Structure 1
Amino acid sequence: MKTLFVLSALAEALLLLALWNAGRRHVLAGLRNPYKGPEPFEPSPRVAMIVPVTGDTPAVRAGLKSLLEQDYPNLRYFLVTRDGSDPAVGVIDALIAGRGDAVRLVSGPAETSGQKNHNLLAGVAQARHWADIYVFCDSTHVARPDLARLLARPIAEGKGVMSGGFHRVVPHNDTTPTLGMLLACMFLHCLQPVRAVTQPWGGAMAVSRKAFEEHGIQAVWSTNIVDDFSLGPHLAKKGIRTWPVGEACLETPLKSVPFAIWQDWLTRQLLYLKFCTPEMWLGVVPVIWLFFGPALLALFGALGAVFGAADPWWLGAAALYGAAFFGLGLLYRQLAPLRVRLLPWTLGFFATPLMAAWCYLRTWTTFHMRWRGTSYKVGWGGKVLRVIRQ
């Protein structure tokens, strides 16, 4: 048992340290390179920004407003709702009134895919005869004015056919669920520059029209539950990886996130892994062990030592483990967009791996994807088998 604990604790520490080292420059790029004004480049391809929208919330209003203030000159907007009764319709119409570069579209209800995919394809259908590059964005994150330019530039310069950004949670309080979502996004953000495993993020990604058509992305999206996690593996099989753009980082302001929201959000991210790449979902079992195994062994070993049922060695080992994990938390604290008090940050850093392990266990008994009143029965590879509207 001691050997298992020592090896697991070392592996966990090395994994977190390697992740921090691989991603810290990328994560900090957006923080240390703020928007400096328009910077034109040639050639200047025609860009269609396609944004699926639903609901009328402060996040949607702020996100759409920021997207509609892009500085890229050769840009048109295609904002897509499921139907004309969506509360987002009034928000969109008010924001684009009198503009000739933006249209609102209605996609209709999805029958063979996730609703977001269906909305994206409705935008593509309207934009394909004009655009050279498609930029796909979520409506609930605040974008820099140069987001479209940052995503289009690597494609225009021939660095790749697909580029991607990410988002950072900006915490407006320091409750554990809020910081847990910040840390989960931060860990994923650190993976972005690791080309062997990086995945596009649907909230800010760009694909050339030529690649979109040549590689059958429409066929993939038209039957799949999700946009990014289906696109990444599909193109990876063809040797195509996302070109990560560190500065293309959106902001997600959060405050007082309920525990249930944190749990359901993280479970949903892991469900995409299960449905779209089940081999990867099974392959992360050792990582999940590292998330909770060392902490569990340290806790029970220390308790056993206190009550005389285990070797006193466990007290020192548990203290050393806690100190090392605390030190790793201080490293990741350097990547936070705002300064967070030390105690709440430490609680969040210790809690997040445990929550990830718990949410992963939940995916073993979950066979439907539920989102905004719709349940999707999903099969192998993320294919939608049935849409159940509640």
Structure 2
Amino acid sequence: MIWFWLLAAGAQCGLLYLLARAGRALPQREARQAAENCTVPDEKWPKAALIIPVAGEHPNMAAALKSLLCQDYPRLLPILITATAEEPAARLIRDLQKEYPAARHVVAGKAQQCGQKNHNTLQGVAAAGKEAEVYVFCDSTHLARPDFVRCLTGPIVRGEAAFSTGYHMVDARDEQTVTLAYAFCVLLLRLLQALAVFTQPWGGAMAMSRAAFREYGVAELWARNVVDDCSLAGLLLGRGVHVCLCPGALLRTEAAGHALPVWRDWMERQVLFLKFCVPGQWLLLGLLALLMALPPLCAGLALLGGLLNVGSAAAVFTALLYLAALAAVLYVWREFLPAPPPLWRWIWAYFCASAMFVRVYCRTIPARGIIWHGLSYTVGQGGTVLRMQR
């Protein structure tokens, strides 16, 4: 039993170390891409449509949208889309247009056969028409650097890829367990993106050429699907299409007092999207959940047994050895955060994230639908929307 535990613990720490090394390589890749972008004169950058579906009343939305509307891209067409003209996000957009008159506001109407975000996004693409050669898709609640669009479109402009993606990082503004656990989950996904085998488009920061959008039937895919990025990932994986990771296209997500239900629901959606759209990766995710949860559980039982004098000295030693190795690896992970928390809080957040991951994954096994922004979607193979209820 101890040997099996050692094998699982070694695999866990090894994976975390491998991801840390991949993360440490990202700044070099970012610097190389930035230098290559600098060789492209302004007149060579094609007109790009910045398509931003907007919904809800997120407290950071105004600042996030301003950061996207202040991009240094030479020819940018910002298009902000809401489902209705009366919702709070629509009123915010009208206020922003006074300061940024180039921004267009599109009222998409309510979706009927796909996710509302997909519907909004497609209406934004339709509004761009033939004016743009590149489509850039962004979420509305993350802060962007002024060169975000250049970073994201660079590989497309240079002809290196037809699809590119960025990601985001959580700027934890407190040291509460849920906030740090959320930051860990996002960091884990970001570092997985750094491995080529797991690089796939993320809807909060992705770009593609207009030609690729048409060639791969993205509009037809999204018009019947519950989600944009995972459905596109499934399509591109099936076609063997390369997606270029742009480390410089890294959005910042501020988080403080992050609520447990919000974190849990977010995590559940991420797992469900993979289940419906990329089932092979969902199965791998199950192995990852087991790998994250089993070694800490065994360590806890071994230490408890030692305290109660019912366990072996070898089990206690193995538990301490594992915890020391885990602490060393997670210490390295702290360097990827804007403000590294105390190590003990970070380790506890890791344990909580592992437990939540297992709970959420188990809940997704029998699931046949997704609840998102107040809409209930019954989902079929490939993420196709079979029925929706408001």
Aligned length: 388
**Moved runs in structure 1, 4+ residues, more than 3 A?**
27-34, 38-42
Q: Whole-Å Cα distance in 2 between the matches of residues 210 and 43 of structure 1?
A: 17
Aligned-residue RMSD, C-alpha:
2.2
| Counterpart contact for 2:49–2:132, Cα < 8 Å | yes
| Corresponding residue for residue 221 of structure 1 | 222
| Corresponding residue for residue 9 of structure 1 | 9
| Counterpart contact for 1:195–1:241, Cα < 8 Å | no
| Counterpart contact for 1:232–1:241, Cα < 8 Å | no
| Corresponding residue for residue 343 of structure 1 | 344
Q: Whole-Å Cα distance in 2 between the matches of residues 3 and 11 of structure 1?
A: 12
| Corresponding residue for residue 198 of structure 1 | 199
Question: TM-score, normalised to structure 1's length?
Answer: 0.94
| Counterpart contact for 1:64–1:140, Cα < 8 Å | yes
Q: Whole-Å Cα distance in 2 between the matches of residues 322 and 161 of structure 1?
A: 44
| Corresponding residue for residue 302 of structure 1 | 303
Structure 1 residue 293: Cα displacement: 0.8
| Corresponding residue for residue 80 of structure 1 | 81
| Counterpart contact for 2:49–2:78, Cα < 8 Å | yes
Comparing 202-211 and 39-48, the one that deviates more: 39-48
| Counterpart contact for 1:191–1:198, Cα < 8 Å | yes
Structure 1 residue 149: Cα displacement: 1.4
Q: Whole-Å Cα distance in 2 between the matches of residues 318 and 219 of structure 1?
A: 52
1:375 is paired with a residue whose SS is strand
Q: Whole-Å Cα distance in 1 between the matches of residues 159 and 173 of structure 2?
A: 39
Structure 1 residue 42: Cα displacement: 5.1
Segments of structure 2 that go 5 or more residues without pairing to the other structure are none
| Corresponding residue for residue 263 of structure 1 | 264
Q: CA-to-partner distance for each residue in 1:64-120, whole Å, 9 max, x for gaps?
A: 111111111211111100011211111101111275522100111111111000000
| Corresponding residue for residue 326 of structure 1 | 327
Q: Does 1:60 align with 2:64?
A: no
Structure 1 residue 313: Cα displacement: 1.4
Cα 1:212/1:382, change in 2 over 3 Å:
same
Structure 1 residue 222: Cα displacement: 0.6
Q: CA-to-partner distance for each residue in 1:311-361, whole Å, 9 max, x for gaps?
A: 221111111111111111101011111132233222213322222122211
Structure 1 residue 28: Cα displacement: 8.4
Q: Whole-Å Cα distance in 2 between the matches of residues 29 and 349 of structure 1?
A: 27
| Counterpart contact for 2:167–2:249, Cα < 8 Å | yes
Cα 1:62/1:30, change in 2 over 3 Å:
farther
| Corresponding residue for residue 93 of structure 1 | 94
Q: CA-to-partner distance for each residue in 1:8-30, whole Å, 9 max, x for gaps?
A: 11111111111111233327877
| Counterpart contact for 1:70–1:146, Cα < 8 Å | yes
Q: More helix by proportion, 1 or 2?
A: 2
Q: Does 1:22 align with 2:22?
A: yes
Matched AA of 1:264: D
Q: Whole-Å Cα distance in 2 between the matches of residues 257 and 135 of structure 1?
A: 28
Cα 1:202/1:323, change in 2 over 3 Å:
same
Q: Whole-Å Cα distance in 2 between the matches of residues 282 and 361 of structure 1?
A: 12
Cα 1:27/1:54, change in 2 over 3 Å:
farther
Q: CA-to-partner distance for each residue in 1:229-250, whole Å, 9 max, x for gaps?
A: 1112212222212211111111
Matched AA of 1:4: F
Matched AA of 1:181: Y
| Counterpart contact for 1:128–1:209, Cα < 8 Å | no
Matched AA of 1:12: Q
Cα 1:29/1:214, change in 2 over 3 Å:
closer
1:225 is paired with a residue whose SS is coil
Q: Does 1:185 align with 2:186?
A: yes
Q: Whole-Å Cα distance in 1 between the matches of residues 149 and 142 of structure 2?
A: 14
Q: Whole-Å Cα distance in 1 between the matches of residues 314 and 194 of structure 2?
A: 40
Comparing 361-370 and 375-384, the one that deviates more: 361-370
| Corresponding residue for residue 128 of structure 1 | 129
Structure 1 residue 59: Cα displacement: 1.4
| Corresponding residue for residue 367 of structure 1 | 368
Q: Whole-Å Cα distance in 2 between the matches of residues 56 and 296 of structure 1?
A: 39
